[in-house]
Amino acid sequence: MEGHKISFRVYYEDTDSGGVVYYANYLKFAERARTEMLRKVGINQSEEDILFVVNKVDMELKKPARLDDLLEIESIIEKISSASLDINQYIYKDSIMISELKIKIACVSKEFKPVRIPNKIKNKLNLV
């Protein structure tokens, strides 16, 4: 699949005392990128009858990002199953991959019970 790209600037609040991005903030950047990817194809999570929740994360940090860096996050849906998504995300600085994330997203009801991804949402996800 083609994927979605978005850029974010590293702010002071994203860094530790040494000016390096704190590792947990890569997860925040990835979450924001996934949310914008969904918005781009017309999926507004607050208006749906289902929720997408992170079920599993595998993250490898290859190089550090620092204060004021401009990062590009690429999100690629690798697999759409009946009730989950596998999404690979790559974070780049100056066209060099600095982090790779493999995310498993589960589809759940508002009561947090596993449910199938509705066809209308699957169809939109295929546009990514």
Catalytic hit among 14, 16, 68, 69:
16
Q: Mark whether 86 is an active-site residue.
A: no
pLDDT score of 1: 52
* End-to-end Cα distance, the chain: 7
Tell me the mean pLDDT per 10 residues along the chain, length 128: 89 95 97 95 90 97 97 97 97 98 97 95 88
Domain parsing of the chain, residue ranges:
4-118
Best CATH choice for the domain 4-118 from the list 2.30.130.10, 3.30.930.10, 1.10.10.10, 3.10.129.10 = 3.10.129.10
% helix / strand / coil in the chain, to the nearest 5?
25, 45, 30
pTM of structure: 0.93
- 38 is written with which tokens? 């969904």
Query: Which parts of the chain fold into alpha helices (H)?
Result: 23-40, 119-125
What angle is formed at CA 63 by the lines to CA 57 and CA 68, rounded to 5 degrees? Answer: 100
40-78 burial, b if ≥16 CB within 10 A, otherwise e?
Answer: eeebeeeeeebbbeeeeeebeeeebbeeebebbbbbbbe
In terms of Cβ atoms closer than 10 Å to its own Cβ (0-12, 13-18, 19+), residue 109 is: exposed
